[in-house]
Structure 1
């Protein structure tokens, strides 16, 4: 798979741009602030409906414009498809596939697969759990596009459930008699969608684990072993520390980690936990159990990476997560020989020491398509020599 053409209208700093791309390596080169990252960000957004730089879609629309349009021609098995996404600030996005409108923008999910490396990836190791949950969910949507709807439904249900909990808390404090029948309905909805998401995440972590161990060894020259485990909040909700779901024993507990791959089992556990925590949830006005409270734990040998890993080790682990994602997508049987995603490296090489930089370049060089941004051409390792696009003042000019 590769992107042969990219067109942007009112996306970020670009009133309009049209680029023809080839398989292999293409480097977007230019000083900081000229629009290099905007180009690759558009493809990452088209693939995952999420930006690696901002959380709000409004920032993607050029100042003064009402909407931004991303168009990409994607070639797979020698056949090209046109993907179009219209980003409207504050409103639902609209999508078209081969010029035909889609009922929902998320129906475009999975048509383009990308793995994007960026300096922001360091937060996957050092940052809050939310970033690691988002990493899993975005990869899940690339592997199984139907999970985009599950993820969206769960987020909507939790917002509604939190509003009901806050209302119930206000009623309790005022002495009003509570009618919790509506909350019971939203408990059921949260358990159904949440269970599907938890089970999918645990299965994903199981599949990623060997790829991460191998990728980290390749990037770091085998200095230590990278490990990952899914810690489900439902395991802790009943007052038991339990075990790390999908692998790592923690404090002794009765939980069976493998059961968390069964959505039916997880649903029952979530309902039980919500009933157990209802008093506390009404008091606090928030949902205290579910995939929005879960954690992806990263370890180097037996120590948690967050707080113990050095800067270099953290970078290697972050790169390992992205390389593991690439290998998992590449090995996806549902896509057969065309599953290889587009690799995007946004100003990564300038952040790495020489050894990690050269090792990463060697690992990604055989990929079908690699898109790189760099402030100067010298930041691109020689093994990744290829086409170059000079970017200056939001004008992109192909050099070779």
Structure 2
């Protein structure tokens, strides 16, 4: 799969922008703050239904505008499809597939991306929420219908927390919280499906992660990943369902006292290890970069092996500047066989020559195709 055309209207710092990327490597060169990342952010938004830089959709709309439009033509196996998202400052966002009205949650059925950006260092060093998002973005791309499951879980969790904040311990003792039982059932059902898919994902990522890390950093390191659930000791979906239900029942008074749901997929974490030690806290800066990048490459190769869409669109946002020359070359070799890779760089010389197949210059919200010397 590849993007054959991209059109932006009032997205970030772009009043208008139109490009026709080719198959292979598409390099966006420009100084910081000119809009390079905004271009790849728009593509990634369609696949993941969110930004890798902000959780607020309105932040993607150009200042002074009421709506932003992202329009992408995709090509795969001789067929094309047009996706269009309209992000509204007020009111619900809108979506179209081939000019027919659709839902944004449908988009992962048609487009798959894997993005690596400097923010992804926080996958290793940061808070659990980033690692949960990494897992959920991937399970949605593997199985697009899970976009609805994840969305419904978040909605039920919010409703349940609202009820917990207004409930009293005496209501539990008097048996007056029948409504909470209904939310418990939905939370457990949805949460069990999410946990099952996360476990499957991490098991399937193990071998590609090892291969990717060896390709980038060398074969003298061992990497592994393991989920750290808030509900321990449940290995099957049936065991997890029962344990989740039991945890909610026995912890109800404590949850009411604190006003939040204390167990479930929203409280899980992932532990990444390097040579038997937790990468968080032990890995050097260079090892952290290599680890985070390897995770994304592993994800891309996993999606490639399963998807009927072909290769995911690979996005490397400001990556090469942080790597030494040897790792730059290794990374270039690792991504060379993907159908389409978008690369952003402040300096063209940071990008290996083999990847400079199509170059666009980005300056102050305008994009121009390279026609001469890159210097």
* TM-score range relative to shorter protein: over 0.9
What is the aligned counterpart of 1:210 among 207, 210, 215? 207
- Show the counterpart of 2:47: 47
- Show the counterpart of 1:36: 36
- Show the counterpart of 1:281: 255
Contact in 1 for aligned 2:172/2:253 (Cα 8 Å): no
Q: What is the CA–CA distance in structure 1 between the aligned matches of 2:75 and 2:66, rounded to whole Å?
A: 30
Q: What is the CA–CA distance in structure 2 between the aligned matches of 1:44 and 1:64, rounded to whole Å?
A: 24
Q: What is the CA–CA distance in structure 2 between the aligned matches of 1:161 and 1:195, rounded to whole Å?
A: 17
- Show the counterpart of 2:181: 184
List 4+ stretches of structure 1 deviating above 4 A: 173-178
- Show the counterpart of 1:83: 83
Contact in 1 for aligned 2:66/2:90 (Cα 8 Å): no
State the SS of the aligned residue for 2:92. coil
| Root mean square deviation, CA, Å | 1.6
Structure 1: runs of 5+ lacking an equivalent: 236-254
Residue 301 of structure 1, CA deviation? 2.2
State the SS of the aligned residue for 2:231. helix
State the SS of the aligned residue for 1:286. coil
Residue 108 of structure 1, CA deviation? 1.7
Contact in 2 for aligned 1:6/1:71 (Cα 8 Å): yes
Q: What is the CA–CA distance in structure 2 between the aligned matches of 1:48 and 1:218, rounded to whole Å?
A: 27
- Show the counterpart of 2:133: 134
Q: What is the CA–CA distance in structure 2 between the aligned matches of 1:392 and 1:156, rounded to whole Å?
A: 40
- Show the counterpart of 1:167: 166
Contact in 2 for aligned 1:110/1:141 (Cα 8 Å): no
Contact in 2 for aligned 1:96/1:108 (Cα 8 Å): no
For residues 128-160 of structure 1, give each alpha carbon's deviation from its aligned partner in whole angstroms, at most 9, with x where no partner exists: 010000001001111110000000000000001
Q: What is the CA–CA distance in structure 2 between the aligned matches of 1:327 and 1:90, rounded to whole Å?
A: 38
Residue 175 of structure 1, CA deviation? 11
- Show the counterpart of 1:239: none
Of 281-290 and 90-99, deviating more is 90-99
Residue 76 of structure 1, CA deviation? 0.7
Q: Evaluate the alpha carbon distance shift between residue 183 and residue 398 of structure 1 in structure 2; reply closer, same or farther with a 3 A threshold.
A: same
- Show the counterpart of 1:199: 196
Q: What is the CA–CA distance in structure 2 between the aligned matches of 1:352 and 1:177, rounded to whole Å?
A: 62
- Show the counterpart of 2:291: 317
Residue 174 of structure 1, CA deviation? 11
State the SS of the aligned residue for 1:63. coil
Contact in 2 for aligned 1:110/1:143 (Cα 8 Å): no
For residues 99-128 of structure 1, give each alpha carbon's deviation from its aligned partner in whole angstroms, at most 9, with x where no partner exists: 0001x2201223111111111110000000
- Show the counterpart of 2:117: 118
TM-score by length of 2: 0.96
Contact in 2 for aligned 1:154/1:190 (Cα 8 Å): yes
Q: Evaluate the alpha carbon distance shift between residue 362 and residue 351 of structure 1 in structure 2; reply closer, same or farther with a 3 A threshold.
A: same
- Show the counterpart of 2:23: 23
Q: What is the CA–CA distance in structure 1 between the aligned matches of 2:136 and 2:333, rounded to whole Å?
A: 28
Residue 353 of structure 1, CA deviation? 2.1
- Show the counterpart of 1:240: none
